[in-house]
Amino acid sequence: MDDTLVDGPQAIRVTAFALGYVPAGATMEIDDNETATLLIEAPAFVTESDGWLPLRAKVRLSVPPDRDITVYLRSEDATEVIVPATVVITAGQTSAPFSLQVLDEREVDGTQEAVISASVPGWGAAARRIDVEDNEPVKLFIGVEEENGLNGKSPKRKGWSRS
Ligand SMILES: [Ca+2]
Ligand SMILES: [Ca+2]
Ligand SMILES: [Ca+2]
């Protein structure tokens, strides 16, 4: 079905009637051929302390759709950032905001690259990298171990340590 509408993949209900048979239905998906480009806008840097970032990211379409478009979201590293499963760009709009949840773990893991992706079946996908900075305090200290008398041989040690 080639129309001029930017309407995304559509579920077409095909119903067959035949004398003496109960109506049978089948659903198939027809991909739209009026394509639009999908983009993700999101902060380039976040920190683990940010936690819940309400509506701080956005999916954007190059042209407004003629009907509501469901965009599927995915976080490639769900240990760093969580995104909702879907967001809907309503007809006539070119963007829809969504929230980010930055996870705060206790691991000293430095800055991690978290990639989030958005896709509309038949339209391809978009991806966006978010650098998630660690918030674990890194304590530097000089430790001097005391001899504990075990064989009298425990060496005194100086060192750098992270905790
Ligand atoms: Ca943390
Ligand atoms: Ca961490
Ligand atoms: Ca982390």
Please report, in tens digits, the pLDDT of each residue of the chain (163 residues total).
566 677 766 544 444 343 343 344 444 444 556 667 899 999 999 999 999 999 999 999 988 988 999 999 999 999 999 999 999 999 999 999 999 999 999 999 999 999 999 999 878 899 999 999 999 987 666 666 655 555 555 455 555 555 4
* Residue at 13 is within a domain: no
Distance 84 CA to ligand 1 centre (A): 22
- Angle formed at CA 35 by CA 42 and CA 31, multiple of 5 degrees: 110
Cα 58 to Cα 28, 84, 98, 116, 147: the distances in Å are: 29, 12, 6, 11, 59
* Residue at 44 is within a domain: yes
Q: Which of 41, 97, 40, 37 is nearest to 61 (CA)?
A: 37
* Residue at 62 is within a domain: yes
Q: Is 49 helix (H, G, I), strand (E, B) or coil?
A: helix
Number of domains in the chain: 1
* Residue at 149 is within a domain: no
* Residue at 24 is within a domain: no
Which H helix or E strand runs over 100?
Answer: strand 95-102
pLDDT at 2: 63
* Residue at 77 is within a domain: yes
CATH code, 56: 2.60.40.2030
> What is the span of the domain harbouring residue 109?
36-133
* Residue at 69 is within a domain: yes
Q: For residue 107, give the ligand nearest its CA.
A: 2
* Residue at 80 is within a domain: yes
Read off the pTM.
0.68
Q: For residue 46, give the ligand nearest its CA.
A: 3
Residues with CB under 5 A from ligand 1 (ion): 48, 104, 135
